[in-house]
Amino acid sequence: MIEANNILCVKGLKKSFGEREILKGIDFEVKKSDVVCIIGPSGSGKSTLIRCVNFLEEPTEGTIEYEGQEVHQAFKKLPLYRTKVGMVFQQFNLFNNMSVVENCMVGQVKVLHIDKEEARKTALQNLEYVGMAGYMNAKPSQLSGGQKQRVAIARALALKPEVLLMDEPTSALDPEMVGEVLTVMKKLADQGLTMVVVTHEMAFAKEVATKVIFIDQGVIAEQGTADDLFLHPQKQRTRDFLSRFNVLSHQNEEDK
Amino acid sequence: MATLPTTFFGWVHFLLLQYGEVLFKGACVTLLLAIVGTFIGCVIGLVVGIVETIPEDKDASFFSRALLKTEKRILDAYVEIFRGTPMIVQAMVVYYGAMSLFSIDMSPMFAGFFVVSINTGAYMAESMRGGIDSIDQGQKEAAIAIGMDHFQAMRCVILPQAVRNILPQIGNNLIINIKDTSVLNVISVTELYFASKSAAGVYYKYFEIFFITCIVYFIMTFTASRLLRWWEKRLDGPRDYQLVEYDPLADPCGIHPIATKKQ
Ligand SMILES: Nc1ncnc2c1ncn2[C@@H]1O[C@H](COP(=O)(O)OP(=O)(O)OP(=O)(O)O)[C@@H](O)[C@H]1O
Ligand SMILES: [Mg+2]
């Protein structure tokens, strides 16, 4: 069956906070080396969805499968699953009491029980990859937003995850720093890392995504390849949503 | 018989020679009580703060959840009671209560350590909880997201920052304790105030003796506050860092690489 090469499979996912149902039954698959971009209006449940995928939020209903097996059955403990499915946050969330390199080591040492020397090597390789090796001894408070986010990516990569989840990784950045983070993300995508990215960067989604999912009011309104969704959206809701971005880009062109 | 001094400073000098050693010993007892009490109090506060912030685990058995809840209630009560009553009264209740209820004849000194520690613990528990809450939830989540459990996240990420943030309060408590151990004279702990009172009684020179006492207290608190401030600074480390090489991705022109490629 096709499911064989699915890394992640989300089935009938529902999530309520109290009485309010935020996610109302979400189904999608992520294949190896997929770059899935999740787009949708604010408050539609994108963050909730991606947080449910690594169980930062406990889903109310539905299952998540990792390589064909329900997560709780595939892994004795959630932390082990979380090392396979890395996460990058909108607000970076670096550990402020640690230097850049320690941020990238602590998970390897504490969770995977890798010895310090080895962990340091891996940390430095990943920092090199995101162009932050020169800042290895800096504290997070000494970095710019874009640099923080690149360190956060290196921190996630240091655990050698199979999938990287990202929740609006560039939304908290000043415009001039968005590029450096997108560059790293694109490099990762080109290397075949499987990613699920919530983003408002339509240019990025258009160029890099193998699949785009449009979420509206807690359901998947439409999903397909980047071309399908951006060039031939089937639903009015999708068109309305995308038109806001198109309007912006037209304006930009007129400005020039 | 030697003639007694006539002036204020004459008396101060005379009393210093006469009772300097007694006062010095009293000061040492005060310092010992304050330092040990603050230290144990901080340990108590740390433990209470950690227990109070253990999240409820929905998967845990009914029994262990009930246990945790009960523990939290008891600790809440402890904090409220010891913050809500004066230490001088606590000292009386502990010292004489132990004797009459349990027939435990503890030495005044032991009762003193006990009261100061447990009192400081109640205050530090609140500070600790505040310190833990002040660390933004995002860092905790990031720790969970790289596979740590609650206790690893606390130990590696949250507590080091929380403790750093409440260092000023620890210092504050130490200074308060140096002063407030004076109330332990009611259970005859021979700390500085008790020693001063005894010494003053001999020649009825209260002002002269307590003038000296006042200075001794001030020297102790002032030194403590300076040492703590120095220690805080040292913990923070240097403000700058050695840059090893240039950041190749930082983009000073603010060019958006993907957007530009499209044009
Ligand atoms: N812990 C929570 N408790 C209660 N309600 C919540 C909680 N987290 C999210 N919500 C609600 O769920 C809804 C969806 O939130 P979510 O953060 O998933 O949206 P989003 O699509 O990520 O939006 P944005 O683009 O602004 O990030 C919001 O209305 C929010 O108020
Ligand atoms: Mg969001």
**Tens digits of residue pLDDT in A52-63:** 999 999 999 999
Average pLDDT score, chain A: 90
Residue with tokens 């007892």: B29
Of A13, A14, A17, A37, the one to substitute when testing ligand 1's pocket (max ligand atoms within 8 A of C-beta) is A17
Q: Which residues, in sequence order, are CB contacts of B138 under 8 Å at separation 6+?
A: A89, A91, A92, A93
Q: Is B167 on the interface with A (CB under 8 A)?
A: no
> With an 8 Å Cβ cutoff, are B142 and A93 in contact?
yes
Single out the residue of B227, B220, B222 nearest to residue B182, CA to CA.
B220
- Mean per-residue pLDDT of chain B: 85
Nearest by CB to residue A83, choosing from B143, B147, B246, is B147
Q: What integer pLDDT is reported at residue B203 of this predicted model?
A: 78
A169: CB partners within 8 A, 6+ apart: A88, A89, A90, A149, A152, A153, A181, A185, A197, A199
Q: A38 pairs with which residues across the strands?
A: A198, A213
pLDDT range class, residue B242, cuts 50, 70, 90 = low
pLDDT at residue A242 is higher than 50: yes
Identify the pLDDT of residue A150.
95
The pLDDT of residue B139:
95
What percent of chain B is predicted at pLDDT more than 90? 47
Task: Tell me the shortest Cα–Cα distance from A1 to chain B, in angstroms.
Answer: 31
What is the rounded distance in angstroms from the CA atom of residue A179 to the CA atom of residue B248? Answer: 12
pLDDT at residue B8, rounded to an integer: 81
C-alpha pair distances (Å), B224 with each of A125, A172, B173: 46, 43, 11
CATH superfamily name and code, B24-193: MetI-like (1.10.3720.10)
Contacts of B91 (CB under 8 A, 6+ apart): B111, B112, B115, B183, B184, B186, B187
pLDDT at res. A4: 55
Taking only the tens place, the pLDDT of each residue in B45-68 is 999 999 998 888 777 788 888 999
CB contact under 8 A, B255 and A179: yes
Structure tokens at B18: 């006469």
pLDDT tier for residue A27 given thresholds of 50, 70 and 90: very high
Q: What is the pTM of this model?
A: 0.84
Average pLDDT over residues A27-39: 94
Residue B261 in this model has a pLDDT that exceeds 70: no
Cα dihedral B110, B115, B118, B123, rounded to 10, equals: -150
Please state, for a pLDDT cut of 70, what percent of chain B lies above it.
Answer: 89
Q: Compute the average pLDDT of residues A130-151.
A: 92
Give the residue, B107 or B250, on which the prediction is more confident: B107
Can you tell me which residue has the tokens 């009192």? B119
Q: Which ligand is nearest to the CA of A42?
A: 1
Is the distance from CB of B177 to CB of B37 less than 8 angstroms? yes
Give the residue among B157, B143, B147 at the shortest CA–CA distance from A85. Answer: B147
pLDDT of residue B167 exceeding 50: yes
Amino acid letter for position A129: Y
Say what the ipTM of the complex is.
0.90
Q: Is A199 exposed, middle or buried (0-12, 13-18, 19+ CB in 10 A)?
A: buried
> How many angstroms separate the CA atoms of B263 and B260, rounded?
5
Give the confidence band of B90 by pLDDT, cuts at 50, 70, 90. Answer: very high
Residues of B in contact with A177 (CB under 8 A): 250-251
User: Tokens 């390199």 label which residue?
Assistant: A101
A251: confidence class by pLDDT, cuts 50, 70, 90: very low
A15, A26, A46: residue to mutate for ligand 1 pocket, most atoms within 8 A of CB = A46
What is the arithmetic mean of pLDDT over B96-111? Answer: 86
Q: What is the DSSP letter of B7?
A: S
Q: Is the pLDDT of residue B240 over 80?
A: no
Residues A236, A242, A248, A251: is their CA dihedral positive or negative?
negative
Where does the pLDDT of residue A245 fall: very low under 50, low under 70, confident under 90, or very high at 90 and above? confident
Confidence (pLDDT) at A247: 47
CA quadruple B199, B202, B206, B212: dihedral positive or negative? Answer: negative
Any ligand 1 atom below 6 A from CB of A44: yes
- Comparing B216 with B15, the larger pLDDT belongs to B216
**Contacts of residue B245 in chain A, CB cutoff 8 Å?**
133-134
pLDDT at residue number A246: 65
Residue with tokens 């021979």: B190
For the four alpha carbons of A116, A118, A121 and A122, in that order, the dihedral sign comes to negative
